[in-house]
Amino acid sequence: MLNVQTTPTSPVSARWQPHPGHHPLRLESDERWSTLAELRNLLQYDAHLLRCDDEALFQRRQLKVGQTALMTGQPFDGLYVVRLGTLKAMITHADGGVHVLAFPMKGTLLGFDGFYQNTYMSDVVALTDCDLVRIPASSLFSPGRGNNHLEHMAYWASSREIIQEQEAYSLTRSVKSESRVARFLHIMSGRFEALGFSPNRFILPMSRRDIGHHLSVTVETVSRAFSALVQLGIITVDFREIKILSRDALCNFER
Amino acid sequence: MLNVQTTPTSPVSARWQPHPGHHPLRLESDERWSTLAELRNLLQYDAHLLRCDDEALFQRRQLKVGQTALMTGQPFDGLYVVRLGTLKAMITHADGGVHVLAFPMKGTLLGFDGFYQNTYMSDVVALTDCDLVRIPASSLFSPGRGNNHLEHMAYWASSREIIQEQEAYSLTRSVKSESRVARFLHIMSGRFEALGFSPNRFILPMSRRDIGHHLSVTVETVSRAFSALVQLGIITVDFREIKILSRDALCNFER
DNA sequence: CGCGCGTTTGAACGGGCTCAAACCTTGTGG
DNA sequence: CCACAAGGTTTGAGCCCGTTCAAACGCGCG
């Protein structure tokens, strides 16, 4: 179900249409709830003050591999914070070209691009089973309520997403493709480490094609870059399992 | 005064230091004021409801060619909306490489990237004499006040900036450099038209180098792409003056 | 088993980068 | 007003590297 076959009729969306069997807003059966304190922890907002005595609870939404979290053209209904799993945020251009904006993981904010036109502007699909926490739009803009802190936190996190998007941009800038792949592996290593996993041995959740669409190179180039790094003794590769043998040497290739 | 020569000491900034003669927050002598209604018009927020009976006034800040509006590492003190002129927003990487994120013009929001760490994350310099309107941070987060609408408008505009950044990203995606330049000219044409200028004859406010740093190609490639488009009779070029002879042919080159 | 998909490797082409030189504009100072 | 310097722009020549096309292999799944 990669493409929803519909004839565009709604002015708000040429690509997304509700249809039988598709209930994006329906609650999952095994849904549970998250507290405001957990949201704060997920977003790493602890550097700022935030009263967490609020009794607000937030829906969770569970996704299986391949399921869609957000779709271009879908009406904006709030923000999501990744609690578990890895996803792929991408844009499909008119000519069929694909660009992978980011690989959201635990603590990443999703959906801010839907604010502008009350419509999400990117497709986000689950690369692994995922667990999201939903911040409904109603709780963001309710006037007079005491959750001004929630609103502030949401926009703080949005600003962070912009910064990280700019960092991702720098991945496509360097001239040599091997450098981009080396940088990509370095960044992934750091993200796994920040999540409590080993930074020197991990399994990539995305395909070579996804990596290519993220770095703006072809699949073959990604594969060749991996092989070159293996040849130099910097990493080992077993399909999606990566072991980093020399982090220093990896950094030296990032230019 | 392209580079501020200082030794990094402040933990908040390794690149920006206040120094004698530099008063980024000081009021200009010829400063005037803008109303909330003008802000709304600049941002094209008229599609949404907004009471403009608020008496709030916003400082203007005037810049001459080459002056810096925002600098990486400078403490966040609010957002700015371009009222007049064209600027260049860029990031300088550790290896000295430069990436031009965007060319802000009338109606563009500046500074949202400073929200995350209370520090602006990009350099913004004036390519022409400019006129900015400042939205101080204090007016964005004052609890209990009635300017919740201002806050909403600011984040709405922020979301728009993210979308446009993604569109800019698509400029660096296409394989052929001539296509990127054609797309760039097409976009600039549309922006001038939206501002009430002729879409078929305009003067580029930025250098070939800036365009190159925006499209991730070299100066020579930009120049050659211009020459090729001239050779094909699609445009004429006289230094920075561009005339578009066939918009259709220009669009056909965008792939 | 056979099919589809992801991955890897090879060969050849082409386009953008690098280096280099010339031209034009602009600003400065004599 | 002119001389000069500095930087923006254009064009050329050669090389490198990523794309393209092609083929082979492995894995999962019906």
HEC string for B152-176: HHHHHHHHHHHHHHHHHHHHCCCCC
Output the pLDDT for position B12. Answer: 41
Return the domain boundaries, chain A. Answer: 11-146, 174-251
Q: CA of B160, closest CA in chain A: separation in Å?
A: 5
**What is the spatial distance, in angstroms and rounded to an integer, between the CA atom of A210 and the C1' atom of C20?**
40
User: What is the C-alpha separation between A189 and A170, in angstroms, rounded?
Assistant: 17
Average pLDDT on A46-56 reads: 65
Q: List, for residues A198-239, the tens digit of each pLDDT value.
A: 999 999 999 999 999 999 999 999 999 999 999 999 999 999
**CATH 2.60.120.10 describes domain B11-146:** yes
Q: What is the DSSP letter of A141?
A: S
Average per-residue pLDDT in chain A? 84
**What is the spatial distance, in angstroms and rounded to an integer, between the CA atom of B43 and the C1' atom of D11?**
43
Comparing A4-8, A36-40, A94-98, B76-80, the range with the smallest average pLDDT is: A4-8
Average pLDDT on A77-83 reads: 96
Q: What is the DSSP letter of B15?
A: S
Helix (H, G, I), strand (E, B) or coil at A57: strand
Q: Which residue reads 């950094």 in tokens?
A: A251
Domains A11-146 and A174-251 share a fold: no
Tokens describing residue B230: 């001239």
Q: What is the DSSP letter of A119?
A: B
- Which of the pair, B54 or B105, is modelled with greater confidence? B105
- Letter string b/e over residues B120-151, b meaning 16 or more CB atoms within 10 A of that residue's CB: bbbbbbbbbebbbbbbebebbeeeeeebbbbb
Output the pLDDT for position B24. Answer: 43
- Which of the pair, B148 or B203, is modelled with greater confidence? B203
Which residues in chain B have their CB less than 8 angstroms from residue A121's CB? 163, 166
High-pLDDT (> 90) share of chain B, %: 61
Nucleotide nearest to A227 (CA to C1'): C8
Give yes or no for residue B15 having a pLDDT over 60: no
Output the pLDDT for position B146. Answer: 54
Q: Do A170 and B121 touch (CB under 8 A)?
A: no
Beta carbon of B255 within 7 Å of strand D?
A: no
- Which of the pair, A27 or A121, is modelled with greater confidence? A121
Q: Does A49 touch chain B (CB under 8 A)?
A: no
Output the pLDDT for position A52. Answer: 61
Strands (E), A109-153: 109-110, 123-126, 130-136
**What is the spatial distance, in angstroms and rounded to an integer, between the CA atom of B23 and the C1' atom of C26?**
29
Q: List, for residues A181-200, the tens digit of each pLDDT value.
A: 999 999 999 999 999 999 99
Q: Does B112 touch chain A (CB under 8 A)?
A: yes
> Which band of pLDDT confidence, cut at 50, 70 and 90, is reported for residue B253?
confident
Q: Residues of B from 10 to 29 whose C-beta is within 7 A of strand C: which are they?
A: none
Give yes or no for residue B4 having a pLDDT over 70: no
Which residues in chain A have their CB less than 8 angstroms from residue B165's CB? 162, 165
High-pLDDT (> 70) share of chain B, %: 82
Q: Does B170 touch chain A (CB under 8 A)?
A: yes
Q: Enter the pTM of the model.
A: 0.84
User: What is the C-alpha separation between A17 and A135, in angstroms, rounded?
Assistant: 22
Strand C: positions under 7 A of a protein C-beta atom? 6-11, 15-20, 25
Output the pLDDT for position B162. Answer: 86
Considering only CA atoms, give the Rg of chain B: 19
- Which of the pair, A27 or B50, is modelled with greater confidence? B50
Using CB atoms within 10 Å of the CB of residue B253, give its burial: 0 to 12 exposed, 13 to 18 middle, 19+ buried. buried
Architecture of domain A174-251: Orthogonal Bundle (1.10)
Q: List, for residues B184-193, the tens digit of each pLDDT value.
A: 999 999 999 9
Chain B residue with minimal CA distance to A153?
A: B116
**What is the spatial distance, in angstroms and rounded to an integer, between the CA atom of A213 and the C1' atom of D20?**
17
Tokens describing residue A142: 């309710």
Q: List, for residues A89-144, the tens digit of each pLDDT value.
A: 999 988 888 999 999 999 999 999 998 899 999 999 999 999 999 999 888 876 55
Give yes or no for residue A13 having a pLDDT over 50: no
Q: Do A115 and B159 touch (CB under 8 A)?
A: yes
High-pLDDT (> 90) share of chain A, %: 61
Q: CA of A129, closest CA in chain B: separation in Å?
A: 27
Output the pLDDT for position B250. Answer: 92
Average pLDDT on B138-161 reads: 77
- Quickly count: other Cβ atoms within 10 Å of residue A27's Cβ: 10
Nucleotide nearest to B220 (CA to C1'): D10
